[in-house]
Amino acid sequence: MRASDAMSAITAIVPTQRPALFKGPPGCGKSQIVEQVARNLGADLLISHPVTEDPTDPKGMPWFQDGKAEFVPFGTLRRAMEATAPTIWLLDDLGQAPTAVQAAYMQLLLARRVNGHVLSDSVYMLATTNRQQDRAGVNKIITPLLNRFVHLELEVSVDDWQAWALSANIAPDVHSFIRFRPALLMQFDPTSGQESFPTPRSWEFVSQIAGVTPDSLLLPVVAGCVGEGPAAEYIAFRRLYTQLPDPLTVLANPQGTTVPTDPAVLYALIGALVERAKTATDPQINALALFAGRMSAEYGTLLIRDTIAVNQRAFGQPGVSDWVRKHADLFATR
């Protein structure tokens, strides 16, 4: 299931209070999807890490009160019971948790109560896990616990990642490079023994560190995130990206600026123009639409669609609106 479909499914399921389990390989964006769902719903987010927990975390701590032993909720459990605002409680990497901790969560997930304490009606429970075939230290999740979840297995979608990257301010050279080399977004082989490999998470790391890393150290640092081969390709693309003409020059003269023919240059230029579109004036947005009209329909669609994604005001500009009407068939298929 694509991330966009998973978010739609969870948004629909939340009112039923049926817990869901996101499954997928390391780094595919499971936790980010949950964070995005919480933002979309305007919900608070509680995160637990069952792999580091004791069974008392989801059950409460034994304590004497008035001469009687009681289980007293604490930490995240107490916050989930006292929540008054919409709240998502994420059990992150549940599959790595010891069996005793998994068993302790069973009553909470189904009955929504434990040892006389009741979860707030405002709380919805979600969990994530890698799969056993990923060799990620996942224990077998016990069958009674598995049966308490709606199971959603995630697949990596380049289009969904690009939409997220624009909203998450991923560096423009990084998301432009993935446009150019989409196969490098995710390359995970659990049998390879690689310590670093391309995933949505590791490309986010590249976005955060490439701009502050000295050029002489860029290759080993990026390779430490995504592996040597992808790092070399990215750095070559990045050099191309930094040599592009100033996007302001393109927007000042959209009819007179030469449209590149090399695909790598086109992807790099589109990324630079989209970054500029975040703060573009209305005349600049219309100039961008003129430049898009001089590209092939495929590249023009990328430019206009991503411009609208980063600047909602763009859709109301006459140049963009005209362009979208003329190419409505392409927008419908992307």
Please tell me the distance from the alpha carbon of residue 172 to that of residue 180, in angstroms, as a whole number: 12
Count other C-beta atoms under 10 Å from residue 309's C-beta. 17
Q: Tens of pLDDT along 151-164?
A: 999 888 898 898 88
How does 105-139 read in b/e, with b if 16+ C-beta sit within 10 Å? Answer: bbebbeebebeebebbeebbbbbbbbeeebebebb
Q: 27: pLDDT confidence band, cut at 50, 70 and 90?
A: confident
Phi, psi (deg, nearest 5) at residue 214? -55, 145
Options 1.20.1250.20, 3.30.413.10, 3.40.50.300, 3.90.1010.10; which CATH number does 3-153 get?
3.40.50.300
Total-model pTM? 0.78
Please tell me the least confidently modeled range out of 65-79, 114-128, 132-146: 132-146
Q: Tens of pLDDT along 118-133?
A: 999 999 999 998 876 7
Residue-range domain boundaries for the chain: 3-153, 158-332
